[in-house]
Every structure is written in C-alpha cells, then in structure tokens.
Amino acid sequence: MGTYNIPRNVKGEGRILFVFSTKSLIYSAIGAVIGLPFYFLFSALNLTIVGMGVMAIIAFIGFIIGTFKFPEIAALPFTKKIGGENIDDIIMRAIKFKRKGNRVYIYTKEEEKNG
C-alpha cells in the first residue's frame, strides 16, 4: 500500500485562544484603548465596575468589526453590493470615500467603429 497525504483544515490554526484571530485581537486592543479614558473617568467617580464594563463593550465592538462579515439581506438592496465583505473593509472604504470629497470617478472605454 502507498502512503497518501490527507488534507487538513488549517483555517483555525492562526487563531489565538480559539476565539481571536490576529486581526480581531488587534481591533479588540484598539477598542480597549479607546475605552480606557472612560474607565479612568468612571473610576475617578468611584464607579470602577461601570468603567470596566464600558471599556469591555467598546473592546467587544472592536472584536465584532475585526471578525464578522456584513450579511447579505434580501430585503435590503444595498446589501447585495457589500454582502459577505469584512466590516472593517467597508468602514475603511467609507472613510476613504469621505476623504476624497464624496466623488466617484467612472472611466469608460469607448470602442472604435470600423468601417
């Protein structure tokens, strides 16, 4: 008998603690850094647990942005264009669109007529 290589599913091997991919961990850390001022503000008011909760919620929002894809919903027509794309890619594209002054450039190729 010969030996055969059995393909493995290696998709999950790039994950940390089975939940965080590298990208989602980075976005969660960015969310925690954004929530840190809220933690300090609430801890100054002796509401440390509330500050931790707000920071955790903002970090969780960062995790969602880094992990999930935008769903394609049949009832909403605009989701047909962006359905299945990563949420962070959609946000980055919207930011670039706003920076360029809401302009869309369309290039058309004109065909030459023979004859």
pLDDT tens digit string along 44-101?
999 999 999 999 999 999 999 888 888 888 777 777 777 778 888 888 888 888 887 7
Q: Would you place residue 15 in the very low, low, confident or very high pLDDT band (cuts 50, 70, 90)?
A: low
pLDDT value of residue 57? 94
Neighbours of 46 (CB within 10 A): 9
Structural domain boundaries in the chain: 16-99
Where b means 16+ CB within 10 Å and e means fewer, 65-96 reads bbbeeeeeeeeeeeeeebeeebbbeeeeeeee
Would you state the pLDDT for residue 36?
Answer: 93
Residue 16 has pLDDT above 70, yes or no: no
